[in-house]
Structure 1
Amino acid sequence: MIIGIDLGTTNSLVAVWEGEHARILPNALGNLLTPSVVGLDDQGQLVAGDIARERLNTHPHLTTSLFKRYMGSARETLLGGRAYRAEELSAMLLRSLKADAERALGLAVHAAVISVPAYFSDAQRKATRIAGELAGLKIEKLINEPTAAALAYGLQQRSEATFLVFDLGGGTFDVSILELFEGIMEVRASAGDNFLGGEDFDDRLVEHFIAKVGSADLPDTAQPAMAQRLRREAQRVRHALGQAQDARFTLREQGREWSLELTQSELAEIVRPLLDRLRAPIERALRDARIKVADLDEILLVGGTTRMPLVRKLVAALFGRIPGMLLNPDEVVAQGAAIQAALHARHASLEEVVLTDVCPYTLGIETSVQLGADYQNGHYLPIIERNTVVPVSRSRTVSTLRDNQKVVTLGIYQGESRLVKNNIFLGELEIPVPPRKAGEVTLDVRFTYDNNGLLEAQVHLPINGDTRRLVIENNPGVLAPNEIAQRLAALEALKVHPRDQQINTLLLARMERLYQESLGDGRQYIAGLANHFQQMLDTQDERQIREVRVDITQRLTRFEQEV
């Protein structure tokens, strides 16, 4: 038996394919939604879901939530005297969901399809797989959440359509554009923000409440139990303002009461910065898919936070139409995961459905570029660009840089920045090369990326037939606090250079944004302008810098108008 699991930031669900439809399975309490909260009871036993959520207030030292946001990082949470990584906490929740499924089905469950945010990195995806394995599940596939939702919708639709999935959950925001054509569900593009969701809206409400009633007069809001009480009250108020024009935010402690009246219009102002952040991923996905808003047949809302009237109004304004909610936004991802599980099990009723997906991030290598008479390291050469349909294999050819070079070190990265220092390091290959004149030894670098997010890097030397290979499986590291302090100190010790002047910094930032938003030839054009400008900055000649800055600014304006 293969089940489908929506492993959410705020709530999680488990579903199974039965006959002709996906069924959400209830947990031990009879609820379909299981809060993504885990902890230990007073005897050190695992508690999860509603029980654990209740203990967040009373036993904050034994209970935790929102750990999905830290998947793939080295962050640890202390529970009962022991430190747990996010994948271990997720495994606790998955183990509870597995037990609920077995109880509901009366069968043993050994495998699952788990949904993840489309914008999850390779490290976060691997951490999710590890969590499943720790929970005693064989992970047959990770499916992107918007793709799962679209799959569930496609089974209802069963006709040709192009649609955008707007997935705003408790902790993450994803947008995907998909096409359904002759039984094929094809993902055209995905974008998102892994730190934008309903929990952030609650944080804004808490901050507003503290600011208005006066933090000096309140109990210690940093204390875990108090922080959790404020968060729960904020969530209640946010939900209430979805139904009524006003609601009261109230905190009671030791016989005292603090309260604040809030209206829907005030809520809109409080969360406006978050609503504004929803726009950029939508624009990027449309641009990458080369699709105009008018070409979309449907706008689908997914995730509990899309129930907010403010969010629905924003979506309606952005797309000029009322978004669709044919399926329950809380349940549709789990239903899609169950459908994918049935597809994997080759269920007869789903034989005609074919699903394709995309690589959410650009994958590439570090290279050097010539700036004047010198070469500068640390530049990014994309090999597989984001939103390429997977499985995919792409290659680029590079060459040696110095005379009699004996070794080439190939750094492998993931991300959208022009410079590798701003991307995520995945691994490296050291390739011995025969000593020749610079440029005489070429290397064919091939990246292969599969449906499960596994990257293989292969380097072939035509000059002698040698081939080296690396399968990327390690998690990218994170900076320890002492490393962060060292880097900050190093930056502060630098003397002010012309590139640090605000007007120059603004132009560099603009080019960085355009580089990340562009693909292919557009990226090469922006990179060329950025490299030229950096070369001018290094001259420290203010007149030349000013002339080049004006010229590049005009070029960028024309570039943006033509896109």
Structure 2
Amino acid sequence: MIVGIDLGTTHSLIGCYDEGGPRLFANPLGSLLTPSVVAMDDDGHVLVGQAARDRLVSHPGQAVANFKRWMGSARETRLGDRLFRPEELSALVLRALLDDAQNALGEPVREAVISVPAYFSDAQRKATRTAGELAGIRVERLINEPTAAALAYGLQERPDGSRFVVFDLGGGTFDVSVLEMFEGVVEVHASAGDNFLGGEDFLDVLETACLGDLGLGADTLSAAQRGQLRRWLETAKRELSQRTEVQVGGQLGERTVEWRIDQDRFARLAEPLLQRMRTPLERAMRDARLQPEQIDEIVLVGGASRMPMIARMVSRMFGRLPLRHLHPDEAVGLGACVAAGMKARDQHLDEVILTDVCPYTLGTEVARRDGEGQLQSGFFHPIIHRNSVVPTSREEAFWPTHPQQKTLRLNVYQGENPMVTNNIKLGELQVDIDPSLPSDQNAVNLRFTYDVNGVLQVEATVQATGKHYELLLERNPGQLLDPEQVRQRLAALAELKVHPRDKQENIALLARAERLYEEHLQAREQLQGWIARFRAVIETQDDMLIREHRREFGHALDALEQA
């Protein structure tokens, strides 16, 4: 059995896909939501879930939450007499979820599909896979949270050409994805987000306002008192989704406190956070080359999306009300279950195909000439741009910068900055070239091939000698894939290593245009222009742009033949 898991910042869920559709499993307390909190009791036993969350208030020094935000870092947290990395804390939550699944299914679970924020870096995704291994399960597939939400809403069943924006505001992360249904495929056009923006930040806003109004400093409260105050404010935040004004208070140490806040003031206080949300949203729309009026539906998911100010902001930006009929805390978990069913090839899902995108740009280091003709090194040259649909493969040629150069060092980077020093280095290839050849005849073809499981294959071929070099970069080297699995993945990728100019659908369309050129003397100049334009678009290697122009080109040829 393959399970689907939503490993969230605030809560986590687990379930599966069976003949009745996606199904979530309850924990021993009867709740589908298990708090993503880990604690240590006085006897040194580890607590996970609601018991740990309660201890977060009573013994804050012996409990930890929000560690999803630290995934991919070396940060350590002390609980009792030992230190825990974020992967280990997440693994403890996963173990608790797996126990719930085993109790519900009556059989052990060996494999899972886990949802992650769309904007998680490779290091963060690697850490998530490691957490799965530490919990004793195989994690071959990660699915972006907005994509999972789209599956939960059944957007794959909408008509061709339907376009959606999934807006996912969880406890600790914010993601937005633009998706389209095309010929039975749920295609992700663009993703963007903020890994440090979520419901906890809105809670911080309330805490700052409350302490200011009461004339208290955060340093005047003990850890337990502050934990108690945040619990009151969390309740207030939730109630403000249903009521225009709420009051919180009670005994805080020796003080009796009382505080009121209404929706309008909360929205004003949170305006900087709302502005932070606009940036990824606008970026995703730009990357997808779409305007708000071209979007058919907007889906809100994530517990923090319940806040009325979120729906108002989205409605203003898109001019329509968003979909919110699924439980916002459960939508991603349900979608992960659907993805697990797809991974298991459930008979009900055979017709569903899902694509994803590369969240960051992948490229290499190059040197460029300045205005005076001097070479300057350290520039980042993208090869696979962010939001490219994966699996994908692209190739470009590079030349040495100096005559008599014997080697070409090809550094591989991930990031969005024009300078490599501000991006993340993933690896490098040393390529031997012939120093006797002129620089302009010593080209090296560099190909990047990236699959849905995060494996980046870098290949370099020296044009003059045909000598081939290869570098394989996994998200979790030595743990994600064994040699046989790597061999199978590379065999599957082999068919991708085709430049768009050599794909059959493009060849066929150009052949048709050339036939019409021979047949229609009066339309030759027009046809030649169309052919030149389509060949130029093919050279961009932008699959989405090629597909759009192929469709337009085909319609134009249809009209010409009918005329």
TM-score, normalised to structure 2, is: 0.81
Q: Distance in 2 between matches of 1:182 and 1:393?
A: 22
1:209–1:249 contact (8 Å) kept in structure 2: no
Deviation at 1:157, TM superposition (A): 4.3
Match of 1:209 in 2: 210
> Which residues in structure 2 correspond to 1:446-465 (within 5 Å)?
446-465=447-466
- The one-letter code sitting in structure 2 at the alignment partner of 1:362 is T
In the alignment, which residue of structure 2 is the partner of 1:381? 381
Q: Which moved more, 1:51-60 or 1:36-45?
A: 36-45
Moved more, 360-369 or 57-66: 57-66
Say yes or no: does 1:261 pair with 2:277: no
Kept in 2: contact 1:72–1:475 (CA 8 A):
no
Equivalent residue number for residue 138 of structure 1: 138
Q: Is the 8 Å Cα contact of residues 37 and 65 (structure 2) preserved in structure 1?
A: yes
The residue that corresponds to 2:346 in the other structure is: 347
Number of residue-to-residue matches in the alignment = 476
> 1:229: which partner in 2?
228
Aligned residue for 2:47?
Answer: 47
**2:322 paired residue number:** 323
Corresponding residue for residue 555 of structure 1: none
Cα shift at 1:466: 2.2
Rounded to whole Å, the distance in 1 between the matches of 2:465 and 2:153 is: 53
Give how far 1:55 is off. Answer: 0.6
With 270-279 and 229-238 compared, the bigger mean Cα shift is at: 229-238
Q: Structure 1 residue 116: deviation in Å?
A: 0.4
Structure 1 stretches of 4+ with a deviation exceeding 6 A read: none
**1:429 CA drift (Å):** 2.1
Match of 1:167 in 2: 168
CA distance in 2, matches of 1:434, 1:83: 53
| Structure 2 equivalent of residue 191 of structure 1 | 192
CA positional deviation for 1:227 = 3.8
Once residues 470 and 41 of structure 1 are traced to their aligned partners in structure 2, the CA distance between those partners, rounded to angstroms, is 47
- Of the structure 1 ranges 308-317 and 206-215, higher mean CA displacement relative to structure 2 is found in 206-215
- Distance of aligned partners of 1:227 and 1:293 in 2 relative to their CA distance in 1, 3 Å threshold: same
Please give the alpha-carbon distance, in whole angstroms, between the structure 2 residues aligned to 1:254 and 1:410: 61
3-state DSSP class of the match of 2:61? coil
Going from structure 1 to structure 2, the CA distance change for 1:219 and 1:192 (only over 3 Å counts) comes to: closer
Cα distance in structure 1, aligned partners of 2:333 and 2:348: 19
Q: Distance in 2 between matches of 1:88 and 1:220?
A: 33
SS of match in other structure, 1:323: coil
Per-residue deviation, 1:249: 4.0
Cα distance between partner residues in 2 of 1:390 and 1:184: 13
Specify the SS of the correspondent of 1:465.
Answer: coil
Query: 2:140, 2:453 within 8 Å by CA — same for their partners in 1?
Result: no
The equivalent of 2:126 in structure 1 is 126
Whether the 8 Å CA contact 2:156–2:185 is kept in 1: the answer is no
Q: SS of the counterpart of 2:56?
A: helix
Q: Pairwise mapping of residues 548-559 of structure 1 onto structure 2 (< 5 A)?
A: none
Q: 1:474 to 1:333 in 2, by over 3 A?
A: closer
Query: Residues 17, 155 of structure 1: CA spacing in aligned structure 2 closer, same or farther, 3 A cutoff?
Result: farther
RMSD: 2.0
Per-residue deviation, 1:347: 1.0
Contact 1:113 1:140 in 2 (8 A): yes
Partner of 1:4: 4
Do residues 471 (structure 1) and 472 (structure 2) align? yes
* Aligned partners of 1:3 and 1:111 also within 8 Å: yes
In the TM superposition, 1:95-114 aligns within 5 A as: 95-114=95-114
Q: Counterpart in 1 of 2:117?
A: 117
Long gaps (5+) in structure 1? 477-519, 522-563
| Letter paired with 2:474 | E
- 1:240 and 2:239 aligned: yes
Alignment of 1:472-491 (within 5 A): 472-473=473-474
* Aligned residue number for residue 361 of structure 1: 360
Deviation, 1:408, is 2.5
Distance 1:367 1:255, change over 3 A: same
Unaligned runs of 5+ in 2: 478-538, 541-563
Cα distance, 1:269 vs structure 2: 1.2
Asked if 1:252 corresponds to 2:251, the answer is yes
Separation in 1, partners of 2:323, 2:155 = 15
Per-residue deviation, 1:366? 1.2
Give the Cα separation in 2 of the matches to 1:197 and 1:209: 19
Change (3 A) 1:408 1:308: same
- Cα distance change, pair 396–230 in 1 and its aligned pair in 2 (3 A): farther
C-alpha distance in 1, partners of 2:356/2:337? 17
| Cα pair distance change 1:439/1:272, threshold 3 Å | same
3-state DSSP of counterpart to 1:90: helix
Question: When the two structures are superposed, what TM-score results if normalisation uses the length of structure 1?
Answer: 0.81
Residues 20-31 of structure 1: matches in 2 within 5 Å? 20-31=20-31
Residue 297 of structure 1: how far off its partner (Å): 1.2
After superposition, residues 266-345 of structure 1 pair within 5 angstroms as 266-345=265-344
Indicate if the aligned counterparts of 2:455 and 2:475 stay in contact, CA closer than 8 A. no
SS state of the match for residue 188, structure 1?
A: strand
Give, in angstroms, the shift of residue 111 of structure 1: 0.9
